[in-house]
Amino acid sequence: MKTTWSSLTPQEREAHFNPRIAVPSADTYLENAAKAAAAARERLAGDSRFDVRYGSGAKQTVDILKGPSSDQAAPLVLFVHGGYWRALDKDDHTHLALPFVDAGAVFLNLNYDLCPDVSVSTIANEIRAGLIWAAQHAGGYGGDPNRIFLYGHSAGAHLAGMMMAETFPPDTVHTEQVRGVFAISGIYEPEVARTLSVNEEIGLDAAEAARNNVLQRTPRHTWPTLVAAGEAEPSGWVEQSRAFEALLRGHDIPVEFVTAENCNHFSFLEILSESNHPLVTKMLQRLDV
């Protein structure tokens, strides 16, 4: 049944839209992810580059993760982490690169500045700068700038969705350079977060939330998109992904919706590192590697 967030009580909204409340074991998942990410950095260190600057912001760096099988024609996967725009780091997500690197892709693990030090609008501009950097420079690191895939989890999925309505200066990013989007367990209406306790850290006001509402923006790019949500996520959170799917279908953008069996918001940080998981397999197939 569709859950409309505006009709919920404050307590119900927290249960549906605050993942750390919806998943009581969230800290354990995050601790395990950090350990897996550290092991992945050690494994990939020989062929990769870390903390390459793509902008002047304090956290505007990217890890270029690759293996010995990556070549000059490798697809580029640009990953944007989650954390409700105010938490986490690329270094907590390095292990998510492994399936892609093992398949021969180049994985760009993007960092960005966080709220409340910057606004969500500033973060979106940083992701835009990261995409421009990838299109202009990542070819020098063994990737194909004409085969870029945007990939985001949680708030990262929101930021990937923002790019679908973005304009780019001439000779920076051409729409055909981006071949697809992977939007995993996203939150697409910042207005929801503005009503939650987490907004004490994010600092959204009504105008800033409206500026960054993906569901109210007209997509400019028809990038084929895979939208996923977890079977074990609250219905309100899943409805965000369904609404994003509906937006794309309404603009004749190719979109596939995937429900990850038995998966909650934080267990995605486990399954997305597994090459043989059905969701990851679908993403790899889209890369054509």
Strands, DSSP E only, in 130-244? 143-153, 178-184, 225-230
Mean pLDDT to the nearest integer, 46-58: 97
> What proportion of the chain, given as a percentage, has pLDDT over 90?
93
- Pairing label, strands 61-65, 49-53: antiparallel
* 28 contact partners, CB below 8 Å, separation of at least 6: none
Which residue type does 195 have? T
* 254, two tokens: 């190719």
Which amino acid is it at 236? G
DSSP string covering 84-126: TTTS--GGG-GGGGHHHHHTT-EEEEE----TTTS-HHHHHHH
Confidence of residue 7 (pLDDT cuts 50, 70, 90): confident
Neighbour-count burial of 164, counting CB atoms closer than 10 A to its CB (0-12 exposed, 13-18 middle, 19+ buried)? buried
Per the CB < 8 A criterion, the answer to whether 134 and 108 are in contact is: yes
Q: Residue 4's pLDDT band (boundaries 50, 70, 90)?
A: confident
Give the three-state DSSP class for 54: coil
DSSP 63: E
φ, ψ for residue 153, nearest 5 deg: -115, 135
Confidence class for position 1, pLDDT limits 50, 70, 90: low
pLDDT at 224 over 90: yes
Confidence of residue 248 (pLDDT cuts 50, 70, 90): very high
At residue 72, does pLDDT exceed 80? no
Question: Lowest-pLDDT range, 110-119, 135-144, 217-226?
Answer: 135-144
CA distance to 146, 150, 211, 259, 271, per residue, from 108 (Å): 15, 10, 27, 25, 19
Q: What is the pLDDT of residue 289?
A: 63
Write down the mean pLDDT value for the chain.
96
- What does pTM read for this prediction? 0.97
